[in-house]
Amino acid sequence: MDDLRRIKNLEVPTGKVDAVLDTDAFNEVDDQFAIAYLLRSKDRITTKAIYAAPFFNDLSSGPADGMEKSYKEIFHILDLAGEKVDAFRGSDRFLTDEQTPVVSPAAEDLAKRAEEYSPENPLYVLTIGAITNIASAILLNPKVVENTVVVWLGGNADHYGHTMEFNMSGDVAAARVVMDSGVPFVRLPCMGVVSSFTISKPELEYWFIGKNPLADYLAKNAIRSADSYAKDAPWTRVIWDVTTVGWVLNENDRFMLSRLIPTSLPSYDGHLTVSPDAHLSRYVYHIKRDALWRDVIIKIAGCQIPEVDF
C-alpha cells in the first residue's frame, strides 16, 4: 500500500461500511456498550462478525478462560439485542514472539474475510482488547494489511508517563506486529484521551434503566460493577470501548478530534519509540463526550434528545 492510499483510508469513511469487532467482552462493562452501539448503528455499519479476544485478570484464570467467557458474553448481548451475527472464538494465549501467529477461528476468519475487500473498499476492524487476534490474522495473511483499516483502543496518550495500559500490555508483541505492519491504523489512547468518556450512576439510571432489556442490562451491569468499589461515594465510570465505533461515525469531527502522526511502536519496557521511516497513522487526541453519549443513548435506549451544539 502506498502512502497516499494509506492516508486516504485513515479518513473517516463516508457512506455505509462493513466492520468486524474484536472484544474481550467479559473483561469490563464497556465492551457490552460498544457491541450494542455497533449493532444499533446499522444505517452506517454492517457488522460482519464479532471475535472473542483473550484477557487475563481477576475475572479469568488465564487468556483462554478470558476469551471463552468473552465468547459467551458476546452471545448474551446479541440475545438481548435480538440480533444474529457470526461470532468466533479467538486466541487462547498471547503471542510468544512477533513472527508466530496464534491460530484461532477468529484469526482465520479475518485472514480469509480480508480477501473479500480491497484498499479502495476496506473492511473496518474495530478492536477493543489485546490485539492478538488481529496480529495473528496479519501474520497468517498479509492481505489483511492491504484490505482493512484497524481502529484500536490501546495504550495511553503520547504525553502520558507510560504506555502499559491493559490492552497494550496484555500483548505487546501483538501491538508491535499490527503497528509496524503498515495497515491503516487508528489509535484511541486510553489514559489522557478516552479517559474523559465517562458516565455517572444518575445518568445511567435516567437514560438507560427501564428503556428496554438491552439498555437495562448495560446500565445495571455498569452500576453493579462501580458500586462494588464505590457504593457510598460519588463515581463516574469510563466506558472506553464505545469510542472505536464512534470513530467510524465521526463525520465532520462530530464525536472526536484526531491528527496524522508517524506510528510509534510500544517497547517491552512500557514506552513508545518512533522510527524515522514510520508509516503515518491516525491519533485521536480529544473526545467530544456529550455529543457521543447523545448518539449512544438515542440508539441504545431509544430516547428522544434534541439537537445540541456540543
Instruction: Check pLDDT > 90 for residue 287.
Output: yes
Domain range holding 214? 199-237
Whether the pLDDT of residue 34 is over 90: the answer is yes
Tens-place pLDDT, residues 203-256: 999 999 999 999 999 999 999 999 988 878 899 999 999 999 999 999 999 999
Q: What is the pLDDT of residues 52-96, one digit of tens each?
A: 999 999 999 999 999 999 999 999 999 999 999 999 999 999 999
Kindly state whether residue 32 falls inside one of the protein's structural domains.
yes
E runs forming strands in the chain: 17-23, 45-52, 87-88, 123-127, 148-153, 185-188, 198-200, 236-238, 256-262, 264-266, 272-274, 280-287
pLDDT value at residue 176: 96
Residue 89 inside a domain? The answer is: yes
Residue among 43, 42, 69, 39 at smallest CA distance from 56: 69
**pLDDT single digits (tens) 269-284:** 999 888 778 999 999 9
Q: Looking at the structure, tell me whether residues 95 and 115 fall in a common domain.
A: yes
* Stretch 1-12: mean pLDDT: 94
Percent over 70 (pLDDT), the chain: 100
Q: Is 237 helix (H, G, I), strand (E, B) or coil?
A: strand
Q: Is residue 161 part of a domain?
A: yes
Question: Based on the domain organization, do 225 and 277 belong to the same domain?
Answer: no
Residues 57 and 204 in one domain: no
DSSP symbol at 90? -
Question: How far, in Å, CA of 296 to CA of 290, rounded?
Answer: 10
What CATH number is attached to the domain comprising 14? Answer: 3.90.245.10
Q: pTM for the full model? A: 0.96
Who contacts 8 (Cβ-Cβ below 8 Å, separation ≥6)? none
Tens of pLDDT, residue by residue over 90-106, are 999 999 999 999 999 99
Domain count, the chain: 2
